[in-house]
Amino acid sequence: MAAQVELERRVAAVRRFNRFYTSRIGALHYLGSDFSLAEVRILYELAHRATAPAAAELGKDLNLDPGYLSRLIRGFERRGLIARTRSTSDGRRSHLALTAAGRAAFAPLGARSHDEMASLLRPLSDTDQRRLIEAMQTIETVLGGGATPPPFTLRPHRPGDMGWVVQRHGALYAQEFAWDERFEALVASIVARFIERFDPSRERCWIAEKDGEPVGSVFLVKRSKTAAQLRLLLVEPKARGLGIGARLVAECESFARAAGYRTITLWTNSVLTSARQIYEAAGYRLIDSKPHVSFGHELVGENWEKAL
């Protein structure tokens, strides 16, 4: 009898939390869009995965009936939002990815979700934010049967991050390319200008974290009414290979679309081969290049651009 009473008490507690969660940070804010909740879940997964999943893999992860999932995917294909590519290792399998139109359709949903979560976290102290995230991870682990947590998370910048961005750029570029302290001074001027002129409706900084520590960054800043600029993409060596760089670049694109920009530009140097590969894979094209002497080296600067 006592065990049954305790079970009922716990059931009531879970139901109470479920109602609270749904009203505060659940999925209801998606239902005002033109997509169903299941459709938004598919778009979200495809927008945030580092590699294109097979349909069976996606259905398993989202716990969707294969027939229902197939109908949703066909509907997306008819609307030009999803494209299939045949697997190179297994001709019977195909992988799913968002088209440019699909990313454009998801962008306002992703931006709205991001802003709602930021509004929820902003009033909380740093300690309470960490407690909340840890509690969520506990729920995910327990109900997921010990499922592996995502390898990294993204969050907006907060006090202290700008110093980390400057220090890590200075240290890493000195270590990997022997650039002198003038590069660190350039990064410091960029982040100072970002903070002084920050326009949250049109600009963003994302910090990637792994195991509670920052491991990456990127900035999207206003260049004109129609053009945004991607700046200061960085991924720590210990966190490379997880898809962090590609995800940070994708977040910039999603936000830029939602903010109404028509193009994203960026400036880089030819020696930064890993970053250039990420930009090229994301659909950026090289506009022009020009030799220059900076940071103690002869370099070739490059301007890249992507139309949205």
Give me the CATH number covering residue 181. Answer: 3.40.630.30
pLDDT at 91: 60
Co-location of 163 and 63 in the same domain: no
Co-location of 157 and 115 in the same domain: no
What's the gap between Cα 24 and its chain centre?
22
Residue with tokens 């830029």: 256
In a domain, 301, yes or no: yes
Co-location of 112 and 170 in the same domain: no
pLDDT at 151: 81
Nearest CA to 283 out of 293, 257, 295, 296 is that of: 257
Co-location of 55 and 98 in the same domain: yes
Give the 3-state secondary structure of 173-196: HHHHHCCCHHHHHHHHHHHHHHHH
How many domains, the chain?
2
pLDDT at 50: 63
For residue 71, give the CATH number of its domain. Answer: 1.10.10.10
In a domain, 223, yes or no: yes
Co-location of 102 and 161 in the same domain: no
In a domain, 146, yes or no: no
Co-location of 242 and 269 in the same domain: yes
Co-location of 161 and 294 in the same domain: yes
Q: Concatenate the DSSP letters of all residues of the chain into one string.
A: -HHHHHHHHHHHHHHHHHHHHHHHHSSGGGTTSSS-HHHHHHHHHHHH-SSPPBHHHHHHHHT--HHHHHHHHHHHHHTTSEEEEE-SS-TT-EEEEE-HHHHHHHHHHHHHHHHHHHHHHTTS-HHHHHHHHHHHHHHHHHHTTSPPPPS-EEEE--TTHHHHHHHHHHHHHHHHH---HHHHHHHHHHHHHHHHT--TTT-EEEEEEETTEEEEEEEEEESSSSEEEEEEEEE-GGGTTSSHHHHHHHHHHHHHHHHT-SEEEEEEETT-HHHHHHHHHTT-EEEEEEEEEETTEEEEEEEEEEE-
Co-location of 187 and 125 in the same domain: no
In a domain, 3, yes or no: no
pLDDT at 172: 97
What does each of the 308 residues of the chain score in pLDDT, given as a tens digit? Answer: 677 778 788 888 888 887 777 666 655 455 456 788 788 888 888 887 767 788 888 888 888 888 898 899 999 999 999 988 876 666 667 788 888 888 888 877 777 777 777 788 888 887 888 888 878 878 877 787 555 666 888 888 999 999 999 999 999 999 999 999 999 999 999 999 999 999 988 999 999 999 889 999 999 999 999 999 999 999 999 999 888 999 999 999 988 988 889 999 999 999 999 999 999 999 999 999 999 999 999 999 999 999 98
pLDDT at 147: 55
Co-location of 103 and 166 in the same domain: no
Q: Domain end: 76, 111, 136, which one?
A: 136
Length of the chain: 308
Co-location of 106 and 184 in the same domain: no
Co-location of 181 and 243 in the same domain: yes
Q: Domain end: 136, 164, 180, which one?
A: 136
Cβ–Cβ under 8 Å, residues 208 and 157: no
Cβ–Cβ under 8 Å, residues 204 and 253: no
pLDDT digits (tens, 9 = 90+) for 68-117: 988 999 999 999 999 888 766 666 677 888 888 888 888 777 777 777 77
Nearest CA to 106 out of 1, 229, 255, 231 is that of: 255
* Residue range of the domain that includes 131: 33-136
